[in-house]
């Protein structure tokens, strides 16, 4: 059984979508990352930085989104969310899974917080380089790693959607909007969005 440590409307939400795509049973353990006193210290035994997401799969704990995606897709290959070892698409798949956390997320967060910096001084480079890279890639293929949907799309697609619609930091380039629209048509995306909304509502995060 998979226990998924989650907080609604957070960086863990893409993992909720991935779990819905996998179609394997899981249970959700809510972590209150917005608690006034911070996340309970007990949770550090699962995630050393007390962040979500994390999973426990039959007693095996996995943290960090790229690692969780890789682990789950390899543990449940029948879902077809990761190109197999030996498949040429495995290279762009792994590249984009890692890019999502090591370049896309930090450079987007830095921009959203108004940090000014020289791209050459940081491993994630500049915001404009990042935007140009994803625009070029998505102009050449329907999914981030190639012709078919993979777990890299839950990471990059969820992030692009969040960056445009919630943070309003990522420019609404036509190619980004078309990509997000394509992904939003997936039943698993819709189920995850609904579940996340219900959890946010139960946590008192929905106003108006």
Q: Is position 16 an interface residue for ligand GSH (rule: CB under 6 A)? A: no
Residues 121-180 that bind ligand GSH (CB under 6 A): none
Binds ligand GSH by CB under 6 A, chosen from 32, 56, 64, 135: 64
CB of 79 to ligand GSH, least distance (A): 20
d(CA 161, CA 8): 16
Taking contact as CB under 6 A, which single stretch among the options 47-55, 90-98, 133-141, 171-179 is the one that binds ligand GSH?
Answer: 47-55
| C-beta separation of 159 from 100 below 8 A | yes
Residue choice 20, 21, 101, 153 for contact with ligand GSH (CB under 6 A):
101
Structure tokens at 43: 């949770």
The C-alpha atoms of residue 86 and residue 27 are separated, in whole angstroms, by 33
Decide if residue 52 touches ligand GSH (CB under 6 A): yes
* C-alpha span between 131 and 120 (Å, rounded): 16
30 contributes a contact to ligand GSH by CB under 6 A = no
Interface residue with ligand GSH, options 30, 50, 148, 173 (CB under 6 A): 50
Nearest residue to 73 via CA among 148, 126, 130: 148
- Determine contact, residues 7/30, Cβ cutoff 8 Å: yes
3-state secondary structure of 40: coil
195 is a contact residue toward ligand GSH (CB under 6 A)? no
Determine the straight-line distance between the first and last CA of the chain, rounded to whole angstroms: 37
- List 4, 6, 8, 11, residue binding ligand GSH (CB under 6 A): 11
Phi, psi of 55 (to 5 degrees): -130, 155
Using CB under 6 A as the binding rule, whether residue 6 contacts ligand GSH is answered as: no
**H or E element that contains 3:** strand 2-6
| CB of 86 vs ligand GSH, minimal distance in Å | 27
Quick check: 14 binds ligand GSH (CB under 6 A)? no
Residues near ligand GSH (CB under 6 A): 10-11, 33, 39, 50-53, 64-65, 101
């Amino acid at each position: 059984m998979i226990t998924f440590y989650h907080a609604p409307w957070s960086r863990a939400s893409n993992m909720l979508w991935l779990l819905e795509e996998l179609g394997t049973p899981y249970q959700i353990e809510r972590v209150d990352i917005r608690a006034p006193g911070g996340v309970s210290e007990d949770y550090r035994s699962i995630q050393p930085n007390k962040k979500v997401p994390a999973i426990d799969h039959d007693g095996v704990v996995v943290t960090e989104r790229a690692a969780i995606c890789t682990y789950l897709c390899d543990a449940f290959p029948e879902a077809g969310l990761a190109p197999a070892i030996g498949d040429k698409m495995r290279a762009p798949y792994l590249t984009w899974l890692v890019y999502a956390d090591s370049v896309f997320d930090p450079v987007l967060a830095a921009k959203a917080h108004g940090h000014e910096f020289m791209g050459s001084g940081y491993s994630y480079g500049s915001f404009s380089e990042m935007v140009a890279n994803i625009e070029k890639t998505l102009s050449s293929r329907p999914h981030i790693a190639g012709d078919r949907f993979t777990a890299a799309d839950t990471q990059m697609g969820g992030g692009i959607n969040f960056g445009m619609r919630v943070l309003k930091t990522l420019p609404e380039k036509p190619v980004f909007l078309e990509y997000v629209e394509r992904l939003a048509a997936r039943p698993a995306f819709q189920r995850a969005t609904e579940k996340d909304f219900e959890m946010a509502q139960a946590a008192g995060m929905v106003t108006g």
